[in-house]
């Protein structure tokens, strides 16, 4: 595995773990584990997918790109960035908007499911899994898009 592929794989796993942990923290803050979790309503399980998705995607895009930039500057990663500065910020904001739209679609599906409430442990596992998956997918896709390996010299 090349150092670039290893970097992307490592950052993808880290992003999944952090995104899942942040999702769990917000779940405990919003719903806790006491009683059932309502699916519908503005403060329900379904509606929370929109505000969960946008910041997870924003951080899953921005933080790994900044970490990659630091690794490139220090010489630990043999690659170059396609976007820097405001281009990176625009890309991260676009990721957040697209993720919010995805969160809206997921919220709509949960609302249409007919479920009234969920067991809190089940709801927590779904939220953590969704956050981890979203964070991993955004990070992996973004790093593949952003990083260009240096060409290998032919002797």
Q: What is the pLDDT of residues 20-49, one digit of tens each?
A: 999 999 999 999 999 999 999 999 999 999
Contact 35, 120 (CB under 8 A): yes
Q: With respect to residue 97, please indicate whether it lies within any of the assigned structural domains.
A: yes
Q: What is the pLDDT of residues 74-99, one digit of tens each?
A: 888 888 777 777 888 899 999 999 99
Q: With respect to residue 48, please indicate whether it lies within any of the assigned structural domains.
A: yes
CA distance 4 to 147: 8
* Of 8, 46, 22, 45, nearest in space to 134 by CA: 22
Q: What is the pLDDT of residues 12-27, one digit of tens each?
A: 999 999 999 999 999 9
Handedness of CA 128, 129, 131, 136 (dihedral sign): positive
Number of domains forming the structure of the chain: 1
- The residue segments making up the domain with residue 122 are 3-149
Q: With respect to residue 120, please indicate whether it lies within any of the assigned structural domains.
A: yes
CA distance 19 to 17: 6
């Amino acid at each position: 595995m090349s150092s670039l592929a290893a970097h992307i794989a490592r950052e993808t796993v880290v992003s999944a773990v952090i995104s899942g942990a942040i999702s769990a923290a917000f779940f405990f803050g919003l719903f806790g584990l006491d009683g059932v979790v309502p699916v519908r309503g503005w403060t329900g399980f379904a509606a929370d997918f929109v505000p969960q998705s946008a910041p997870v995607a924003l951080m899953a895009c921005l933080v790994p790109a900044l970490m990659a930039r630091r690794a490139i500057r220090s010489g630990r990663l043999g690659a170059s960035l396609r976007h820097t500065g405001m281009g990176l910020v625009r890309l991260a904001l676009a990721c957040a908007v697209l993720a919010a739209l995805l969160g809206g679609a997921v919220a709509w599906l949960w609302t249409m499911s007919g479920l009234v409430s969920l067991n809190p442990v089940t709801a927590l596992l779904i939220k953590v899994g969704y956050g981890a998956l979203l964070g991993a997918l955004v990070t992996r896709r973004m790093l593949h898009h952003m990083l260009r390996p240096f060409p290998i010299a032919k002797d």
